[in-house]
Structure formats: C-alpha cells, structure tokens
Amino acid sequence: MSAFVVTGTDTGIGKTVFSAALTGALGAHYWKPVQSGLADGADKDSVASLAAVPAARIIPEAYRLTEPLSPHRAAELDGVSIDPDVLVLPEVRPLVVEGAGGALVPLTREVTYADVFAEWGLLTIIVARTSLGTINHSLLTIEALRARRVPIHGVAFVGEANEDNEATICEMGKVHRLGRLPVLPALAPETLSDAFARGFNLEDFT
C-alpha cells in the first residue's frame, strides 16, 4: 500500500490543500509530525474537513508548537526540544505525511526535514507554485532532496496553468509532472475532490 511524504518549495503554497486532496483520493491516513502555529487551527483539522476521511485516520502530531515559525525556533520559544528519533512513521497504509514549509526547514539547529525524509525513505512529492520564482525554488528543492538521496515521486503544481514553468522544472529537474491543482474559489471536499480527479491520475499514487 502507498505511503508518501508531501513537502514544498516554500510556505503557504497549497501543500496542505494538496495533502488533503491526496488523502481523500486514497482514503489514506494523514500525519503532520510537527505543527507550528496553533492560533488559526492545526493543518490536520483542515485536512480532516477537506479530505472527508474518518476521524481515526487523522493521526495526532508528535509536537504541537504555539508560534507560526520554523519548528526549531517555535520549539525553543515553547521550551520544547524536538527529538527527530521520536518522529517514527506510523505503520498504517495508505499514508500521507506532510512536512512544514520547504524541504530544508529546520526541525532542530542540526536537522532539517529533508534529513528526516532521507531516514524514512518514502517517496516524496514536491508541491510547487506555478508563478514567477517557482523554477528556481523547485530546482533547488530537487537538488537538496537528491543530495540526501530522498526518492522523489514527482512534482504537484498548485496555481494557474503555466505550461512553460511546469515543463521547464520537470525537464531540467528530471522529475515526473504529477499534475496541477487550480486555485479554487470555493474550497470544499466536493470541489477539491473534483479538481484532484481532473488534474491528476490516481494511478500515479497507487
């Protein structure tokens, strides 16, 4: 059964929305190991509402940190020490694991998410914008993951169609283009599920 890590080229690019779409499409379990920022609710709550999977398939975080900052700094402000060894993958399948921000976001002052992804060895999906700046951010992310021998499953784009940007990233980065989620004017389980079905091939994830 399938298990994927979802990472991004940056923060606020639609990684959680894509994770919800993939979780719903696979009927998967969802886990965000570290949640930074609680004032606006946790990402697992957004996924639970958008993916329409049973509540038991939303796995609690290993760490919940107050401030919406990089986990290493949010943990310091909360007086918490993140132990990467605690971040043991759940054995349930199918499984979608969501990182925070970009692949090189630090969990501690010595360990990044990409380092942990390498330990896990799961196929990793890069979520990227389609707009200006995405080529640089995406190719840097691909290089950073490959340097750590993280297996890259492909790139999922979020935004308005930009065929040249998407093709350039996939050709130069030698990665598979998984598909694209458009910006949805009304974000709901039905609209998200429909957009995922139109923009992606489910066989790429099974």
What's the pLDDT tens digit per position in 41-63?
A: 899 999 999 999 999 999 999 99
Helix 15-26 to helix 43-51 angle, to the nearest 10 degrees? Answer: 40
Does 40 have pLDDT greater than 80?
A: yes
40 close to 32: Cβ distance less than 8 angstroms: no
Domain that holds residue 107: 3-205
Our count of domains for the chain comes to 1
Q: Which amino acid is at 31?
A: W
pLDDT for residue 175: 98
> 32 an active-site residue?
yes
pLDDT for residue 152: 98
> Distance from CA of residue 164 to its chain's centroid?
23
Q: With 0.85 as the threshold, say if the pTM is over it.
A: yes
Question: Rounded distance, CA 179 to CA 90, Å?
Answer: 27
Q: Using CA atoms in the order 72, 75, 81, 87, what is the torsion angle rounded to 10 degrees?
A: -70
Question: Rounded distance, CA 36 to CA 25, Å?
Answer: 26
Of residues 15, 32, 44, 174, which has the active-site annotation?
32
pLDDT for residue 70: 97
Does 146 have pLDDT greater than 90?
A: yes
Residues of the chain above pLDDT 70, percent: 100
Does 1 have pLDDT greater than 90?
A: no
Q: Could you tell me the pLDDT band of residue 127, with boundaries at 50, 70 and 90?
A: very high
Please report, for the domain that includes residue 88, its CATH number. 3.40.50.300
